[in-house]
Structure 1
């Protein structure tokens, strides 16, 4: 599959600044979307490929910092490069604490903005790759039967085949068959790899039953 092109979204209520930033970003090959407000962003959504947001701090209706918090609360991953003509240290510290890539005060050098955008795009590219890998893992896990999921949870918890057989009330041979199916369906080459997959999926560890 061909990777979707890198995109930069500029949100600034000043048309002249929007156009200037658009020309700069297009000159180095980025797909660029120019927006005047946060509302315009929600109407258009984020592109499919790696994306970086160049965001003015002061915007009509909702500030850039408020928008940053809103994205975080919605668990929407989007690297942000803040630009402002009225920045101060507390404001920049707050933005960086919330995960901003950079906080640039106007007027800034073109190269400083481009450098920050490249960092943001690489951060988003890695995040998208991890999300795609996790989605693939979830699909594999969903293909397991209920009993295979039980066996997987027990295996990655360190339970031996004999112990799992006793826990589930089945034969040891049955456990071995299920275990083999789990390894095949999850495409795990080893037990440590299967355990790493379980960790990424945040599967709960299996607690052995209590015998009274």
Structure 2
């Protein structure tokens, strides 16, 4: 079915060779496709990359901080999950990373389980987003408008006012959006997009 689409690629950016090798061999052993880089500039040569993908990045790269790397990805509209690893975590860095939407912040030396749990969590989030994006592509432009307004919590009357449609038409659009996104209720629709 859908998660058979493509294997997930893990982009690993770590300048410490021994650290990079040990993380890479662990992930390869777990049957992931891993692309490794020793610096952000090498990684950016590969951007944009195919999704589904996740990024594991050292927070202190020689040429860029992990937080900046994440910001640049977001500016390029690449929203895949990111896990940061750090030798000596400054509290501020981890706060900045999390505020910006990092999935996890691991401080070395971390346990193998911590890393694999973070990777599993990131993959789950990535596949959910990819699936949602595929579903949204099936919506007509009008249905997409309705979807965005529903996410903002607009009720029928607000939809009627904003879209200049009649109530039966609004209801029709709503049920189409929910059918195409395969959700039974509005709360499920909002949960899907979280």
Provide TM-score, normalisation by structure 1: 0.66
Change (3 A) 1:47 1:4: farther
Query: 1:23 — aligned with what?
Result: 25
Change (3 A) 1:89 1:135: same
Query: 1:74 — aligned with what?
Result: 76
Give CA deviations for 1:14-52 in whole Å, capped at 9, x if unaligned. 121111111000111111111111111221235434211
Query: 2:41 — aligned with what?
Result: 39
The whole-number CA distance in structure 2 between the counterparts of 1:157 and 1:111 is: 53
The whole-number CA distance in structure 2 between the counterparts of 1:25 and 1:69 is: 25
Give CA deviations for 1:109-137 in whole Å, capped at 9, x if unaligned. 01101100111111111111111112222
The whole-number CA distance in structure 1 between the counterparts of 2:109 and 2:165 is: 59
Q: Residue 8 of structure 1: SS of its match in structure 2?
A: strand
Query: 1:176 — aligned with what?
Result: none
Unaligned runs of 5+ in 1: 142-152, 162-178, 180-187, 198-212
The whole-number CA distance in structure 1 between the counterparts of 2:11 and 2:178 is: 35
Query: 1:159 — aligned with what?
Result: 166
* Structure number, greater radius of gyration: 1
**8 Å CA contact 1:4, 1:48 repeated in 2:** no
1:52 matched to 2:60: no
Aligned residue pairs, count? 162
Give CA deviations for 1:84-128 in whole Å, capped at 9, x if unaligned. 102121211111111111111110001101100111111111111
Query: 1:192 — aligned with what?
Result: 174
**8 Å CA contact 1:7, 1:47 repeated in 2:** no
Provide TM-score, normalisation by structure 2: 0.72
Give CA deviations for 1:154-195 in whole Å, capped at 9, x if unaligned. 7x644279xxxxxxxxxxxxxxxxx8xxxxxxxx9x443246
Unaligned runs of 5+ in 2: 144-158, 180-194
Moved >6 Å (runs of 4+): none
The whole-number CA distance in structure 1 between the counterparts of 2:29 and 2:178 is: 42
**8 Å CA contact 1:5, 1:49 repeated in 2:** no
**8 Å CA contact 2:84, 2:105 repeated in 1:** yes
Query: 2:110 — aligned with what?
Result: 108
